Amino acid sequence: MEQKDKKVLCIGLVCLDIISVVDKYPEEDTDSRCVSQRWQRGGNASNSCTVLSLLGSSCAFMGSLCAGPVARSHDPLQCKAPVLLHVRKLHHSLKLLPLMADRRNVPDVTAEDFSKVELRHFKWIHWEGRNVDEQLKMIQQVARHNAALPWQQRITISVEIEKPREPLYELFAYGDVVFVSKDVARHLGFHTPQSALEGLRCRVKVGAVLICAWAEKGADALAPDGLFIHSDAFPPERLIDTLGAGDTFNAAVIHKLSNGARLEEALTFGCRVAGGKCGFHGYGGIADMVTRQE
């Protein structure tokens, strides 16, 4: 299979987000009237899959589903875990097809589950940092797979370190591309994306890309040659919904890099798509937005 025909696999969480829109940020211990409410499939890896698919990348999702009657009644995904799903475009909505769904009450994908994945179908695998011990074993499986292949056919490994939890920081050393959130950066004492990259570069492997998105400040990256790159943010005319901006950014960057774009282009595209997404609810507008920009 040619590299361009292979998919991007995202591993992590899918859950149900219940979003209540209110006029202003609620004060503690007060009641507010909702302007509207919606249920939306969420979870970082799931959101990134949604966006990758809307951008035209062929992708798959592997992860556990939050159990419960609410999720069951809302989503075609059944509440079993772990699950491997392909995401396909269907008239601008997304269809998720379960390929492997067996055990219940398993919160996260294990290395054993992952060993059943046919790695040759994938050119890029992205892990949302969660159950690190198992995720490191999965990454080792990919490293072994890669070792037998010429570099053009290797799977790129990306990791997202979003939550400020010490065990997740082990992942820094294992990604070819590492996304670190501003929350983690702040937690580690950094106040700007540039200082975060300076301070965290010693944690990533030589030649890795380290990326730090920072809301309205845009995003910064450390390139494999050690140079720093910056993209400004692209704020929408009106800020409507920033939920999932980070997942959108990650997906847009992965979409570009996995199709051979340079880091600078990928970073700018990530900020453009994520900024645009902040101008509407959910993700549905992304496909239209990208078509308009082309």
With respect to ligand ADP, which residue has the nearer C-beta, 40 or 58? 40
Alpha helices in the chain (DSSP H): 44-55, 69-74, 111-114, 132-147, 182-187, 193-200, 245-257, 263-277, 286-293
Q: CA 13 to CA 160: how far, in whole Å?
A: 12
Q: Which residue is nearest to ligand ADP (CB)?
A: 246
Can you give the binding site for ligand ADP, defined by CB under 6 A?
A: 181-182, 213-216, 218-219, 233, 235, 239, 242, 245-246, 249, 271, 274-275, 278
Query: Beta-strand (E) ranges in 69-121?
Result: 83-90, 93-101
With respect to ligand ADP, which residue has the nearer C-beta, 80 or 186? 186
Nearest to 254 by CA among 61, 100, 92, 51: 51
Minimum gap (Å) between residue 168 Cβ and ligand ADP: 14
Minimum gap (Å) between residue 217 Cβ and ligand ADP: 7
Q: CA 17 to CA 43: how far, in whole Å?
A: 8
Minimum gap (Å) between residue 9 Cβ and ligand ADP: 21
Minimum gap (Å) between residue 277 Cβ and ligand ADP: 7
Minimum gap (Å) between residue 275 Cβ and ligand ADP: 4
Query: Beta-strand (E) ranges in 154-232?
Result: 156-161, 177-180, 209-213, 219-222, 228-231
With respect to ligand ADP, which residue has the nearer C-beta, 137 or 186? 186
With respect to ligand ADP, which residue has the nearer C-beta, 138 or 196? 196
